[in-house]
Amino acid sequence: MLMMQNVMPNPGFGTFRLEGDTLKQSIHAALEAGYRHIDTAQFYGNEKEVGEAIRDSSVPRSDIFLTTKVWFDNLEPTTLKASVDESLQKLGTDYVDLLLIHWPSPENEVPMVDYLTALKEVKAEGKTRNIGISNFTIAQVDEAVSILGKGEILTNQIEVHPFLQNRKLAEHCEQHGIQVTAFMPLAVGKVMDDSTLKQIADAYNVTPAQIALAWVNQRNMIAIPSSTKARNIQSNIAAFDLALSDSEMSEIATLDRKERIANPDFAPAWDE
């Protein structure tokens, strides 16, 4: 397992749409395979099971980098703080390692200065070790940095995969010293059917999914792939030992078709 800059282990294990025993078995398989970064959210409805899986594992809580996210319905400062306490209770822990704003407030209903100030106060209280943002655009990243100051935002978690490469936003985050975390790095399985990724994968005797993850890693991003199959959980983490050539990275760069998968009606006005 590779440790990226700052404190985030790469890869993380994503838990979106996982629940019950399937979720617990997947987390155990991930921890056994060497993952030390677990990503959940209030919206996923599985914080309690995530916490139970971590407690039931042989890996100490202190060795696990645990991320959760505040849903946009909870951004009013008093509500935000109460929701974090509820998340910690469900997770069965006194702190998370990273607390994100899951989506910026739709139509700026709650002013950013209000909920980011509350987020920083939660950190000051020791309930999270790091804070960050998710699904923030270039303009919103700038506003967030102006509110919190440089060096306070650990990451912006955004959709990144070969078909949505999000280069302008990613480069903008890097200029601010903000680590990019790529969610949906496998484009909900679509990478498996791409002829370019298949061709590169064949040269390494690996899967197209592993090539996509190696590509994310070589862009200096954290990836949080998700799987319920122990075999895939293991192959996903093995992908971080691959090194693609410059020409292969250039080939994958041509696959960008601005194909956005996570695009709810409350999403911000995306950057081109």
Catalytic one of 44, 95, 115, 204: 44
**Nearest residue to 186 (alpha-carbon basis) of 164, 166, 170:** 164
28 is in an annotated binding site: no
Give every strand in the sheet of 98-101, ordered side by side. Answer: 13-14, 37-39, 65-70, 98-101, 131-134, 153-159, 179-183, 222-223
How many other CB atoms are there within 10 angstroms of residue 137's CB atom?
Answer: 19
Side-chain half-sphere CA neighbours of 235 within 13 A: 17
**Element (H or E) spanning 66, and its range?**
strand 65-70
The answer to whether the beta carbons of residues 183 and 262 sit under 8 Å apart is: yes
DSSP 110-176: S-HHHHHHHHHHHHHTTSBS-EEEES--HHHHHHHHHHH-TT-EEEEEEE-BTTB--HHHHHHHHHT
Nearest to 55, CA basis, from 46, 64, 67: 64
35 annotated active-site: no
Number of Cβ atoms within 10 Å of the Cβ of 4: 18
Q: How far apart are CA 209 and CA 225, in angstroms?
A: 10
Point out the annotated binding site: 102
Point out the annotated binding site for substrate: 102
Active site residues: 44
